Amino acid sequence: MRSLGCAFLLLCCTIQVQAQELNIPLNRSYYPELEKALTKKTDKHLSFLGISYNELDLLTDSSMVERKWLSRKLFHASLIRIDSGDFHLSIDPLLNLELGQDSKDISGQQLYTNTRGVLIRGQIGERLAFESSFRENQSFFGPFLRTYINEFGVVPGSGRVKPFKTTGFDYAMASGYLKLKVTDWLNVWAGHGKQFLGSGYRSLLLSDNAFNYPYVRAELSLFKGKLRYQYMSASLRELERLPATKSTEAQFRTKLLSTNYLSFKPSSNFEIVLFESVSWERWDQNTLALNYAAFLPIIGVNSATQSDNNRSRSQLGLNALFIPRDGLALYGQLSRLEGGMFSYQTGLKLAGWPLEQLITRLEFNHADAQDYFIQSPETFPAHYNQSLRHPRVASFSEVVVRNQINFGRVFLKQHLSLYLNTQDDKFIMHESNFPPDALALYYLPTQNVVIQNYEISYLLNPSYALNVAAGVRIRTADDVNGRSEMSWLYFALRTSLSNVYFDF
C-alpha cells in the first residue's frame, strides 16, 4: 500500500517537462507567445505548422513556479506528470461542455456539446516524442449545421456521425503521432492527424479543415537550414462503401495523397515554399495496384509525368512569408489544381504591435468555380467528404478579419468572415444521385454570407488550454430564396488545442 502511495505521488509531481520536440498546437489562440514567435525574424522555417517548441525556443508550460498542489493542478500544470530525466510524460483531460441557444431557430432546440477525452504527451530522451488523444462527443446543433451534417455525414473536422436521440449526433475522434529526430537534419513522423501549410487563417494548399487521417512524413534540413524539404504520404477516405465483402461492415473507398514541400529561407525575414500534392485513386471495381510513383519524394516529377493519368490529379502551389519587422508578417499563396484555374490568398498579421497584447489578422482568399472541377471523386483532394483546403471548396471570395487581445488570462476575441457573391460548391458522392464515376458540384444560388463571432474567455490552465468562455456566433446568408439567419449564444468549459471551422 505504501508503494502505491509513492507511485501516486510520482505521477502527480509537477517538475517541468522539457518535452521540447513536441509539435505546437494548431490552435494557438490561448498561446499569444507562440503567435508572436511566428511573426518574428528568425532562421527557422515557419510555414509548415509541424513546428516543435524547440525550434521556436519556447517552453511547453510555465509550471516551475512554486504553488500549492491544488493550485498547480487546477490552474498551472498537467493533471498527471512524470519526469525522470530521460522520460517525460503528461496526461490531461480534453473537454468541451458547451450549452447554447440559436435565437433565430423557431423550433427552440437546445444546443449543446458534451465532449470527454484524454490527451497524452511525452518524450523519451532527446530524440523521440509522442502524442495521443481521444475524444467522444454528443452534440445538438442548430438548423445550418444540422442540415450540413445530415447531407455529408460528418461534423466539420470532427468525424463521421451516428444518430443520437432524435436530432443529435454521436461522433468520436482519435489522433496521435510519433516523432523521431534521427539526426539534427532529419526528422520523421508517423501518425494520425492533420497538417497545415501557410501563415494564414486559411490555407489553399493543405489545411486542417478535414478529419484526421493516417500519414508518414519526413523532413530534411539542408545547407545550414537555408533549405527544408519535406515529403508526406497519407491515406484518405471517401464516405462511400465498397461492394459487400465477408467483413461485418463494408469498407470505405480509399485514396492516397502524396505531398512534396520545398522551403527556401534566404534571410531571417523571408521564406518561400514550393508545394506539390498528388491524389491517387486506389479503387475502381476492385482495389487498384499501388502506383509506386506516389512514393517518389522529388517535387514536380509526378505533376510532369502523370498528367495523362486519369487515376491521379496534382496540385501545385506557392507560399510566401515576409516579415519586415518583428510583429508584422505579410503572407500569400497561389494554388492550381490540375485541369482548373488558380486560387490565391493574401494577408497580414500583427502580433504584439502596436499594442503588446493585441493580435490582428486581415486576409483575402479567392477560388474560382473551375479551380476544383474534376471528373472523379477518387482523385479529389478531400477526406471524409471535406476539402483538404478551404472549407467552402470553391467559387468564393472571402474577407477575414480577426482580432484578439488578452489582459493576463482574460481573452477578448472577434472574428469576421465575409463571402461576396459566392456559390456554395458541395461535392456529393452518392451513386443514387449522380453517376458513380463523376464528381458532382452542387451549386446553390449566388449568395452573400456574413459570419461573425464575438467571445470573452478566461484561461484556467495554460498547460492544456483549459478555458471557460461565453460568446455568440452570427451567420447571415442572402440568396434568391430569401435570408437565412443564425444567432448562436453559447457558454463553454473546454480545452482549445485544435481548430474547428463552422465559418463557411
Mean pLDDT to the nearest integer, 90-119: 95
Please name which of 315, 473, 467 lies closest in space to residue 388, comparing C-alpha atoms.
Answer: 315
In a domain, 503, yes or no: no
User: Of 11-15, 67-71, 403-407, where does the model show the most confidence?
Assistant: 403-407
The C-alpha atoms of residue 37 and residue 58 are separated, in whole angstroms, by: 9
In a domain, 500, yes or no: no
Whether the Cβ atoms of residue 396 and residue 202 lie closer than 8 Å to each other: no
Whether the Cβ atoms of residue 468 and residue 443 lie closer than 8 Å to each other: no
The DSSP symbol for 215 reads E
In a domain, 249, yes or no: yes
Beta carbons within 8 Å of 17's beta carbon, 6+ residues apart: 60, 61, 78, 81, 83, 88, 89, 90, 122, 123
The C-alpha atoms of residue 250 and residue 76 are separated, in whole angstroms, by: 46
The C-alpha atoms of residue 424 and residue 408 are separated, in whole angstroms, by: 40
Whether the per-residue pLDDT at 246 is higher than 70: the answer is no
The residue with cell 478535414 is 210
Which pairing describes strands 154-155 and 128-140: parallel, antiparallel, or unpaired?
A: unpaired
* pLDDT tens, residue by residue, 353-365: 889 999 999 999 9
Split at pLDDT 50, 70, 90, the class of 368 is: confident
In a domain, 53, yes or no: yes
Residue 160, domain CATH: 2.40.160.130
In a domain, 367, yes or no: yes
Q: Decide: helix, strand or coil at residue 494.
A: strand
The confidence score (pLDDT) of residue 423 equals: 53
pTM over 0.95: no
Whether the Cβ atoms of residue 400 and residue 391 lie closer than 8 Å to each other: no
Q: H or E stretch including 421?
A: strand 410-422
Whether the per-residue pLDDT at 13 is higher than 50: the answer is no
The confidence score (pLDDT) of residue 1 equals: 42
In a domain, 443, yes or no: yes
Residue 446: which domain range?
2-495
Helices (H), ranges, 217-345: 301-305
**Least confident stretch, 8-22, 95-109, 144-158, 206-220:** 8-22
Mean pLDDT to the nearest integer, 475-498: 91
The confidence score (pLDDT) of residue 167 equals: 93
| Number of domains composing the chain | 1
The residue with cell 510519433 is 178
Split at pLDDT 50, 70, 90, the class of 446 is: low
Sign of torsion over alpha carbons 62, 63, 65, 71: positive
Instruction: Give the HSE-up count for residue 35: Cα atoms under 13 Å, Cβ half-sphere.
Output: 25
In a domain, 401, yes or no: yes
In a domain, 502, yes or no: no
The residue with cell 465477408 is 246
Please name which of 118, 121, 120 lies closest in space to residue 22, comparing C-alpha atoms.
Answer: 121
Beta bridge partners of 405: 358, 412
The C-alpha atoms of residue 367 and residue 424 are separated, in whole angstroms, by: 12
Please name which of 376, 451, 23 lies closest in space to residue 202, comparing C-alpha atoms.
Answer: 451
